[in-house]
Amino acid sequence: MAYPEPLERLIEAFERFPGVGRRTAERLAFHALREPKARELGPALERAVRDTRLCRSCCNVTRVETCEICADAERDALTLCVVEHPRDVEAIERARVFAGRYHVLMGALNPSDGTESTHLFVERLVERVRREGTREVILATDPDAEGEATARLVLEALHSAGLAPRVTRMARGLPAGSAIEYLHKGVLEDALEGRVELLLSRNDQRRG
């Protein structure tokens, strides 16, 4: 081992972040050793892990058991907007275009980075739709290949569970390959208003 053991451990820890290879991990670790400001990472990380949790209802990151949005009785509890990441909730909330509630899957199907259906909170969504009698599920996963596959997955999971809420997909005006989190208010608003019903194709039904 070329580096002192504690440094090697730090490099390995950085390497576990998505998209960070050995070279970048080394650069980050040396930076953290030299730069007092960068050392705030340690306590910040510890505190974030200790003081945040997943909302028991929507799986978004929160400090309390039930997040503010799920606890807000003014919001439409029967319409769920399903997104990939907490940052998508932030983007849609910032645009003020949606008055229902959310469900965060915590990712999208992506064979290349090893994200499979079991890593996503799809089962929790299915249970929730059953429990709460959800009327509409709006699939607001990204308009890219992973997002489309994830939308299909959710649709099929609801169908296999014998649940039949209206399932729609945010569509119109969304540039293919873009990400929900970067879209502006007008585009999000159009995409929500122009959402289209998503139906199982015959092939999907045969598979299910």
List residues binding Zn ion (CB under 5 A).
55, 57-58, 67, 70
CB of 16 to Zn ion, least distance (A): 27
CB of 101 to Zn ion, least distance (A): 7
Of 12 and 68, the one with the shorter C-beta distance to Zn ion is 68
CB of 176 to Zn ion, least distance (A): 30
Using only the alpha carbons of the chain, give its radius of gyration. Answer: 20
Write the burial class of residue 201 (CB in 10 Å: 0-12 exposed, 13-18 middle, 19+ buried).
Answer: exposed
In sequence order, the β-bridge partners of residue 165 are: none
Q: Which residue has the tokens 């079991």?
A: 118
CB of 82 to Zn ion, least distance (A): 13
φ, ψ dihedrals at 98, nearest 5°: -145, 130
Output the CA torsion 20→23→25→26 (10° steps): 180
Of 10 and 137, the one with the shorter C-beta distance to Zn ion is 137
